[in-house]
Structure 1
Amino acid sequence: MTAHETTLCTLFAEVLGLPRVHPGQSFTGLGGDSIQAIQVVSRARLAGLVVTTREVLRSESVSALAAAARTDDRTRDRSGPVTPPRRFGPLAATPIMEWLGELDGPVDTYNQSLVVRTPAGFDAPAAERLVQALLDTHDVLRLRLPEGLAAPVPAARIPEPGTVSAAALVACVDARFATDEELPALMRGHMRAARALLSPREGTMLRAVLLDRGADRQGRLALVVHHLAVDGVSWRILQDDLRTCWAALASGAAPAPDPVHTPFAHWADLLRAEATSGRRMAEAARWDDVLRPAPAPLAGVRAPGPLDPETARNTHVLTLPPEFTGPLLTAAPGLVNGTVNDVLLTGLALAVLNWRRDGDGDGPPGTDPAGGRVLVDVEGHGREDVVDGLDLSRTVGWFTTVYPVRLDLGPTDPADARAAGPALGAALRRVKEDLRAVPDKGIGFGLLRHLNSHTGPGLARRGIPEIGFNYLGRFPMGDDRAWSAAPGHAFALDDADEGLPMAHAVEVNAAAHEGPDGLTLNATWTWAGNAYPGTRVRALAEEWFAMLRALARYTAKPGAAALTPSDVSLADISQADLDSFESQLGELL
């Protein structure tokens, strides 16, 4: 193997939790998703290699990616002055910040959290030093909104490093006498107290809780961060920083995280400029058409209006076991050169069709008044390559995009799909193509909807998709090493303020967990009580998992893999043409 291949094989194995990776294997073929690809990009940069997220996801093998990798040239001399990107001062509101403000509810303690194992002997002074390093490195953790989200854009500010002290933000709890079984409940109680102390108005975006168990046992460290400053990708960055900072501190050095190449404030400025660019304005008609009302309940468009807040009562959690999750998240995307989102959204669209055919549509049971069309608001990680030269692999912040996708399955037999028949493969190919047609993974919708005064009002009047979908990626669980996620705690799930209205009538948040027994898919369904009865949402959730089990079975069928039009360079070829060609080729062989 070449030096580049060796480095990338090691990084793939680290990120994907595999014992080894061979040069002929591909990232997506091993089950990697776009969020994990960002981790590869970040760690490759630290190893002196430059690759993009797109290259990681699209390269057919490690060898191909290694051939495309560039040596990091940041240390080379450059002619002429270089203006550093802006880090401090006023922060331009991003689309997701505007989105949150439109929910018109309490958001002072809206947060995500992470609980990790700490090394034996890790104490309060060490915790303060590590948290201070995070605060000084990642600017948005010092964000201040003195007048809240409703304030004018210049009111949001990022002060310089050193202006926020970790000493006042870290709570240390003596947990020397607590058992392993008692730790989760003990930590949750202290995290509730930490959550209540968050305050964007006062610049308190982060609180930390250390359960100190002495010199001989692992403790626990919780980071509770306001959602305005963190997202699912950010947690992976912060977790890596905790590891590297502790390694430095343990060796007697200062805990200094690796540098951030593109500051969040600079990114926010670029989004403001991009929102009125010609290429984004050209998308406006497309998004307007996507949001045209569909004549069917659920997965259509609902009129703007208040929804009930999320409650534990209106929550349904399902877990797909390893025997289905493994092939679903690794083999199924490869059938169409696709992604995990292609697979999960195919199952969701088919489940909605069956749900509507049960008699909840405008027509009689067995028919679909929407003609096989399903509208879904999809969340993405938002770290898209909209401007050349950016590197967001080390930037902490809330980058999430929310954009509508109309999935057109056409005349479909859901019963055949549920039985893992040909209809399932046809649906998977159509959904993949619908998602590939979305420009720049949907980042333009939020720009036009929230940052463009010409296009925003018209898109707002179109309404909001009834159902929201978010796949958070894969998370390693059950690892007992220091700085790994601690058992008994959720990872990167939103914790909303009491009384905050839901954004969608029904929301699905899914994540894959890699535990000692294998890979599982965990899905949390929530719904507004004034939108749909719980019995109907639970029925939809169960139908979704039925379709996902069918997709897992479908991966083992001969001839399940197939090309789609976006896989070939011929501009006018259709899916029917490709299917016919592959059928004829199969007969010849």
Structure 2
Amino acid sequence: MEAFSRSEALTAQRAWWLERPWREVSRLPVDSQAAANTEATTSTVRVTLDAESTRALLHDVPKAWHTQPQEPLLTALAQALTAWSGGAVALVDVEGHGREDVLPGMDVSRTVGWFTRVFPALLDLRATKGPGEALRAVKEGLRAVPSQGMGWGLLRHVAQDASLAALPLAEVGFNHLGQVDGAVGAGAPFVLAPEGESLRQRAPSSRRSYLLDVTSAVRDGRLEAIWTFSEAMHRRETVTRVAEDFLVRLRALVDASRAPDAGGHSPSDFPLAKVKQAQLDKLSARFGKKTR
């Protein structure tokens, strides 16, 4: 792994990361800095999308824009964060299980569990208008990340690249757990721990990595998002407002997906074709819904 972190393939990824619009990232406002951002000061806000909107988010939105589960969620998150900060580029650390087939020669088929993968996603909403354009921009940006972000960790922490270490740190962490229906709950092989969110996993004096930590999952047919924050940094009403705006943005995507002219393909849907968005738009205008 250490040898691969210093390979030519990873060197090319380093250049890609350094070319991202880091200077356009807006920092999040804080309500107070009277105390340290520690585990002892944490609290949570939970917001839930209704069942019908969740169903549409899982089926109608992907059908219209050919998206993967995280893409609409990160779009709405980016919109809510940039509306709050006044910027146009949101920086979010995206967490995944790390078992994707993204590194050559890496066979994890005889292992169990996951290898946590975290990479900084610069969600660029500049020059976008409306939920559809925002979704397409975030979708293309996420799919352009080399090796789905696995290379970032190798370069930043294994190779200890100084240039990457000097880049801004994300103030928001995001992890979508997917659809847990069937895995937990009545009749399922597992149940959620009764301690729930009150179970502390770190020492109270530990410094938190983020100002906001957002974890989402679909349970009982509804999307739930838990926003963890520090009461030393933000008031509950502030986080609640941003979290509810996140739901508003998701509903706007659902509404947009139902419009007669909604959706369409984007270049990442055809990775071998090297096609540009303008070409796809011309095909869409010529053949209509046949290109969707």
Shorter-chain TM-score range: 0.7 to 0.9
Match of 2:203 among 497, 510, 515: 497
Instruction: Return closer, same or farther for 1:562/1:294 CA change in 2, 3 Å cut-off.
Output: same
Q: Match for residue 80 of structure 2? A: 351
Q: Match for residue 245 of structure 2? A: 543
| 1:444 and 2:151 aligned | yes
Distance 1:588 1:403 in 2: 36
Paired residues for 1:518-533 under 5 Å: 519-533=221-235
| 1:288 and 2:18 aligned | yes
Distance 2:143 2:74 in 1: 13
| 1:469 and 2:174 aligned | yes
Deviations 1:470-506 (A, max 9, x none): 111211243235x332584649x98333222111121
Paired residues for 1:472-487 under 5 Å: 472-476=177-181, 477-480=184-187, 483-485=189-191
Give secondary structure in 2 for the equivalent of 1:580: helix
Give the C-alpha shift of residue 578 in structure 1: 1.8
Q: Match for residue 32 of structure 2? A: none
Distance 2:263 2:196 in 1: 35
**1:384 touches 1:443 (CA, 8 Å); kept in 2?**
no
Give secondary structure in 2 for the equivalent of 1:351: helix
**1:290 touches 1:405 (CA, 8 Å); kept in 2?**
no
Distance 2:165 2:106 in 1: 32
Q: Match for residue 298 of structure 1? A: 28
Paired residues for 1:425-436 under 5 Å: 425-436=132-143
Higher relative contact order (CA 8 A, sep 6+): 2
**1:381 touches 1:401 (CA, 8 Å); kept in 2?**
yes
Instruction: Return closer, same or farther for 1:374/1:325 CA change in 2, 3 Å cut-off.
Output: same
Q: Match for residue 104 of structure 2? A: 387
Deviations 1:218-271 (A, max 9, x none): xxxxxxxxxxxxxxxxxxxxxxxxxxxxxxxxxxxxxxxxxxxxxxxxxxxxx3
**2:96 touches 2:116 (CA, 8 Å); kept in 1?**
yes
Give the C-alpha shift of residue 436 in structure 1: 0.7
Distance 1:282 1:313 in 2: 39
**2:284 touches 2:290 (CA, 8 Å); kept in 1?**
no
| 1:510 and 2:239 aligned | no
**2:99 touches 2:114 (CA, 8 Å); kept in 1?**
no
Give the C-alpha shift of residue 524 in structure 1: 0.9
Bigger CA radius of gyration: 1
**1:471 touches 1:511 (CA, 8 Å); kept in 2?**
yes
Match of 2:7 among 277, 294, 301: 277
Question: Aligned partner of 1:480: which letter?
Answer: G
Instruction: Return closer, same or farther for 1:295/1:327 CA change in 2, 3 Å cut-off.
Output: closer
**1:510 touches 1:523 (CA, 8 Å); kept in 2?**
yes
Give the C-alpha shift of residue 531 in structure 1: 4.0
Give the C-alpha shift of residue 446 in structure 1: 0.7
Structure 2's unaligned 5+ residue stretches are 30-34
Distance 2:232 2:167 in 1: 21
Distance 1:400 1:494 in 2: 20
Give secondary structure in 2 for the equivalent of 1:551: helix
Give secondary structure in 2 for the equivalent of 1:470: strand
Give the C-alpha shift of residue 316 in structure 1: 0.8
Question: Aligned partner of 2:170: which letter?
Answer: P
Of stretches 504-513 and 523-532 in structure 1, the one that deviates more from structure 2 is 523-532
Deviations 1:398-428 (A, max 9, x none): 5111111112222344xxxxxxxxx211111
Distance 2:21 2:40 in 1: 28
Identity %: 35
Q: CA RMSD in A?
A: 2.8
Instruction: Return closer, same or farther for 1:273/1:539 CA change in 2, 3 Å cut-off.
Output: same
**2:22 touches 2:167 (CA, 8 Å); kept in 1?**
yes
Give secondary structure in 2 for the equivalent of 1:465: coil
Q: Match for residue 585 of structure 1? A: 287
Question: Aligned partner of 1:403: which letter?
Answer: F
Question: Aligned partner of 2:2: which letter?
Answer: R
Give secondary structure in 2 for the equivalent of 1:406: strand
Give secondary structure in 1 for the equivalent of 2:65: coil
Instruction: Return closer, same or farther for 1:575/1:310 CA change in 2, 3 Å cut-off.
Output: farther
TM-score by length of 2: 0.84
Question: Aligned partner of 2:45: which letter?
Answer: H
Structure 1's unaligned 5+ residue stretches are 1-270, 300-305, 362-369, 414-422
Match of 2:49 among 311, 315, 320: 320
Paired residues for 1:58-137 under 5 Å: none
**2:37 touches 2:232 (CA, 8 Å); kept in 1?**
yes
Give the C-alpha shift of residue 377 in structure 1: 1.1
Distance 1:319 1:588 in 2: 35
Instruction: Return closer, same or farther for 1:528/1:478 CA change in 2, 3 Å cut-off.
Output: closer
Question: Aligned partner of 1:471: which letter?
Answer: H
Give secondary structure in 1 for the equivalent of 2:23: coil
Paired residues for 1:113-512 under 5 Å: 271-290=1-20, 292-294=22-24, 296-298=26-28, 308-311=37-40, 314-356=43-85, 361=86, 370=87, 372-385=88-101, 386-388=103-105, 390-392=107-109, 395-413=111-129, 423-453=130-160, 455=161, 457-476=162-181, 477-480=184-187, 483-485=189-191, 488=194, 490=196, 495-512=201-218
Aligned residue pairs, count: 281
Deviations 1:415-467 (A, max 9, x none): xxxxxxxx2111111111101100111001111111104x1x32222231111
TM-score by length of 1: 0.44
